Amino acid sequence: MVWYFTDISTAGLGGATIGIGAARLWQPIKRRFGINTGWGKAPVGFALFGLGVYSFTYPEGLLVIKLAFVLVGGWITLDGLYDLTSGAGETVAGSPNTMEQFGDAHIVGRAIESDPQSLDKLTSTVDLPRHRIEKALEMLVNTDAIAERNGRYHAQFTDRSIGDTLKNAPSRATDRVSSIPDRVLRPFRLFGFDRKKT
């Protein structure tokens, strides 16, 4: 379909397909070795950008599709570069995926539900690496499931189970992230532009 609308050669489209397929393998590799997220974004973005520029060498095809490839590819490339230069894309080796994070949060939450505990105590009572316990605690705090007082974490879901609390975690956590315009403009901080300071 992309070939039909952009009139790109099958060789060019095949190269882009290989790149996108490799990107699918990127997530487990990134988590396994703790590679900065930017290394996965920048090459893919550059490939899409190059594909869009290459499509302009053909007179046929929809201009809006070609332009979309250039704009989206350029944005992803800049976003990847921002992750690399700012450190925002850093990951921890062996970090879990999204579903595993919710599983970790459930395990840690159950431990806190029965008895308020400190981080040090959780590392000895919960069978998870320390960095995964810290991520689980961060998720639980961000969704108001637990609260930290005097170095100990206390459950705040006495009227519901930890499972019910985590079911609402995605929507509640979303309220705490930046707005869509801020996310779209984030890569342009590379050039000193910050919407929050303007």
For residue 144, give the nearest of 169, 115, 116 by alpha carbon: 169
Token reading at 36: 């900065």
Under 8 Å between Cβ of 24 and 78: no
CA 94, CA 66: separation in Å to the nearest integer?
Answer: 38
When the pLDDT of each residue in the chain is averaged and rounded to a whole number, the result is 77
135-177: per-residue pLDDT in tens?
Answer: 888 888 887 788 888 889 988 765 556 666 666 554 444 334 4
Full-prediction pTM beyond 0.95?
Answer: no
User: Would you say domain 98-174 falls under CATH 1.10.10.10?
Assistant: yes
Within 57-186, residue ranges assigned H as helices are 63-86, 98-114, 119-125, 130-142, 162-167, 169-174, 180-185
Question: Domain extents for the chain?
Answer: 2-86, 98-174
Q: Please say if the pLDDT value at position 106 is more than 90.
A: no
**Helix (H) or strand (E) segment spanning residue 22:** helix 10-33
73-98: per-residue pLDDT in tens?
Answer: 999 999 999 988 887 776 656 655 66
- Band the pLDDT of 109: cuts 50, 70, 90: confident
Token reading at 75: 């944005």
- Band the pLDDT of 50: cuts 50, 70, 90: very high
As a whole-number percent, the residues of the chain with pLDDT over 70 amount to 70
